Structure 1
């Protein structure tokens, strides 16, 4: 009995998300086709020039923009950023450091602190419950 393994494919939008690029900025042949798991792995391990260029200069999708600015995606929306940005635009925002960006970075820092505090508390609680029993 032979097993037939079907090739896993994904929509271009899914592949673009996994690659961290803005779909509309990818080549037409990428946008119009389907991407197999093998093709995705090849793109990740040996990115073609168009992918290197997109990753380097953008335009970048919102999750990448948020990460580069050190804020949340919701923080981007609160700051009025709804469109993809290029690396140059992101760098300009970092230099200008508008008030909304400062506020969002502070909010993100508070969220990280709170997350760390909760994790430490949960770890401590778990350690106590795993302790010696009589």
Structure 2
């Protein structure tokens, strides 16, 4: 598989990986080996970053779109993420609130759909 695919499966930021990883191809067996027994570079990258945007957003408790609205366009390290969480800028607090509201609404809709499906199935019986 391509290095970008492997990086996505490993939840790591491709440009921060070693050159041999970026320039090679990764077999499924090699990917499984990296997941089962990560080398030091992979452990360090997972622990310290830089992290891909989806993980940055998750660690900040916001959506990927929230990162863009907050003008976070680059991968962040763990220290940078922790600094944002400690500083709690206004945009981050607003995005976290918005994200919680969106998740709550999605759960409400799923619950309504599940209730409707149960009701439809009970009418069939």
1:83 matched residue in structure 2: 74
What does the per-residue CA deviation read over 1:29-67, in whole Å, with 9 as the maximum and x for residues that have no partner?
100100111111111111110000000000111111001
CA distance in 1, matches of 2:113, 2:33: 40
Say which structure is richer in helix. 2
SS in 2 for 1:130: helix
CA distance in 1, matches of 2:19, 2:110: 45
Q: CA separation of 1:13/1:133 partners in 2, compared to 1, >3 Å: closer, same or farther?
A: closer
The count of residues paired between Structure 1 and Structure 2 equals 125
> Greater Rg, structure 1 or structure 2?
1
Q: CA separation of 1:61/1:133 partners in 2, compared to 1, >3 Å: closer, same or farther?
A: closer
Structure 2 residue 125 is the aligned partner of structure 1 residue 128: no
Deviates more, 1:123-132 or 1:54-63: 123-132
SS in 1 for 2:65: helix
State the TM-score, normalized to the length of structure 2.
Answer: 0.97
CA distance in 2, matches of 1:127, 1:58: 45
What root-mean-square deviation, in Å, do the aligned CA atoms of Structure 1 and Structure 2 show? 0.9
Q: Please list every run of 5 or more consecutive structure 1 residues that lacks an aligned counterpart in the other structure.
A: 1-9
State the TM-score, normalized to the length of structure 1.
Answer: 0.91
1:29 matched residue in structure 2: 20
Q: Please list every run of 5 or more consecutive structure 2 residues that lacks an aligned counterpart in the other structure.
A: none
Structure 2 residue 101 is the aligned partner of structure 1 residue 115: no
Question: Which residue among 29, 43, 57 is the counterpart of 1:52?
Answer: 43
SS in 1 for 2:122: coil
